[in-house]
Amino acid sequence: MTMTATDATVEIQGLIENWAKAARTCDIDGIMAAYAPDIRAFDAISQLQFKGAEAWRRHWQACLEMGSGPTIFEVHDLLIEAGDGVAYGRFLLRCGGIGPDGKEQIGWMRVTVGCRRRGGRWTIAHEHSSAPFDMASGKALLELQP
């Protein structure tokens, strides 16, 4: 079966929507379903990279345990470009939670994903999430608005 770029785009869009929904409900299996076993991730926090689904799952689990209460995890301005079996996507992620005072504690991140279609299914083979930092203070800038 041949697949058009549009079919692929719709499929990857669905993949990212399901992944974000799983993150909102702290469903670790749902989150991990989006990833290739050999995922290489550059996350916004802690270390330069995570190699493979097992290490990435442990990191995700730790991140889910950091938060309490409702999770905010919204995909904005998603753009996907797909070719034959290789695609990429980029978006802005509004994420955080509701603090004990009932106020939103959120930050904006940038996310880039590299996807591959293997065994008839698209997965995320590479993910890169980050916040820019202020060169003078050396601090991450989480309050920047798109």
Partner 1 sequence: MSAESVNPAAVAAIRALVEDWAEAIRAKDVERVMAHHAPDSVSFDLAPPLISTGATPSGVEAWFATWRGRLGYEIRELSVTAGGDAAFCRSLNRLSGTTIEGEKSEIWFRRTVCFRRMAGAWKIVHEHESVPFYMDGSYRAAVDLTP
End-to-end Cα distance, the chain: 39
Tell me the C-alpha distance between 2 and 5, whole Å.
Answer: 10
Q: Which CB atom, from 17 or from 84, has the smaller least distance to partner 1?
A: 84
C-beta of 29 vs 137, nearer to partner 1: 137
**What's the rounded Cα separation, in Å, for the pair 27 and 127?**
18
Nearer to partner 1, 21 or 59 (CB): 59
Q: Which residues make up the interface to partner 1 (CB under 8 A)?
A: 40, 42-49, 66, 81-88, 90, 92, 108, 110, 112, 114, 116-118, 125-126, 128, 130-135, 138-142, 144-146
Q: How far is the CB of 25 from partner 1 (least distance, A)?
A: 22
